[in-house]
Amino acid sequence: MENYRDFNAKTIDSWNSEGWEWGQAISHEVFSAAQKGDWSIVLTPQTSVPMNWYFPFVDETGHFRKGTKVLGLASGGGQQMPIFVAAGADCTILDLSDSQLASEKFVAERENYEIKIIKADMTQPLPFENESFDIIVHPVSNCYIENVQPVWQEAFRILKKGGLLLSGLDNGFNYLFDEYEAPMTIQNVLPYNPLINENQMKKALAENDGVQFSHTFGEQIGGQLKAGFVMTDAFEDFYDDNSRKNHGFPEFWATRALKI
């Protein structure tokens, strides 16, 4: 196999050609509402990020304070960053998928705004100076990389003091099961890592899932703490209403971490 990260980027491009929900750009109406301070984003599939998570960078009108610099880290798709731009932030998007970045360019051209668009691999040193950003938005995406600690270390490096890392995280529960219809039985052993498990790799390739990885609490939460962040808030989330009904166990975490 080629570099698995490049393979995953191409897999996401194939999903987008079929209408993947996380690659569909926001509408003009959503953009216009955000310009008026009426907006929300998700880091995980269902639950919107609380507005108080953006304090002190968003004022009481729902707009970012002048000069607030935001990085969308592996968050292409024309969803979060266009809303942040509309609400007044100076935004940069970094992703490895061509189609995800194309969605960002599409919205920027449609709404006539500027955004820095960078194609890069989040597992490598990020192409930014120390203390470049006030906020990093990192929705569920590190399930496509094997080792998440370098991401947390680089995020800490490029955030300004007082800056925020807002992350959506897969907690690993997804990878225990192939089917989510009740009754459910465990079908996979964790860690889910196709690079070291031949059966998992065969299944991933056969089902066009890309090469995905489960990560532990220690890697996801402990890794942010190890990098130097202070965790200030968090919530759990479900994939959809069916997963809530069929097993009642949240598959995702969202975290708010502060660089002090």
The CA angle 219-104-127, to the nearest 5 degrees, is 50
For 57, phi then psi, to 5°, come to -90, -10
The 3-class secondary structure across the chain, one letter per residue, is CCCHHHHHHHHHHHHHHCCCHHHCCCCHHHHHHHHCCCCCCECCCCCECCHHHHCCCECCCCCECCCCEEEEECCCCCCHHHHHHHCCCEEEEEECCHHHHHHHHHHHHHHCCCCEEEECCCCCCCCCCCCCEEEEEECCCHHHCCCCHHHHHHHHHHEEEEEEEEEEEECCHHHHCCCCCCCCCCCCCCCCCCCCCHHHHHHHHHCCCCCCCCCCHHHHHHHHHHHCCEEEEEEEECCCHHHHHHCCCCCEEEEEEECC
In a domain, 206, yes or no: no
Q: What is the C-alpha to C-alpha distance for residues 20 and 140, in angstroms, rounded to an integer?
A: 14
pLDDT averaged over consecutive 10-residue blocks of the chain (260 residues)? Answer: 91 98 98 98 97 97 98 98 98 98 98 98 98 98 98 98 98 87 82 95 94 98 98 96 83 97
Residue 5 pLDDT? 97
Number of domains observed in the structure of the chain: 1
Answer whether residue 183 is part of any domain.
no
In angstroms, rounded to a whole number, what is the distance separating the alpha carbons of residues 137 and 42? Answer: 10
Full-model pTM: 0.96
Q: What does the alpha-carbon distance between residue 120 and residue 93 come to, in Å, rounded to a whole number?
A: 10
Q: Mind listing the pLDDT tens digit for each residue in 64-110?
A: 999 999 999 999 999 999 999 999 999 999 999 999 999 999 999 99
Range of the domain at 134: 4-176+213-258
Asked if residue 57 belongs to a domain, the reply is yes
Residue 184 is assigned to a structural domain of this protein: no
Residue 92 lies in a domain: yes
The dihedral region occupied by 88, where left means phi > 0, alpha psi between -120 and 50, and beta the remainder, is left
Do the Cβ atoms of 57 and 50 come closer than 8 Å? Answer: no
Residues 214, 190: contact at Cβ < 8 Å?
yes
What pLDDT score does 244 carry?
82
pLDDT given at position 40: 98
Is residue 194 a part of any domain in this protein? no
Neighbours of 46 (CB within 10 A): 14
For residue 1, the model assigns a pLDDT of 59
pLDDT at 43: 98
Domain membership of residue 204 (yes or no) is no
What's residue 179's pLDDT? 75
Neighbours of 156 (CB within 10 A): 19
Which CATH number is 170's domain given? 3.40.50.150
Q: Does the residue 122 lie in any domain?
A: yes
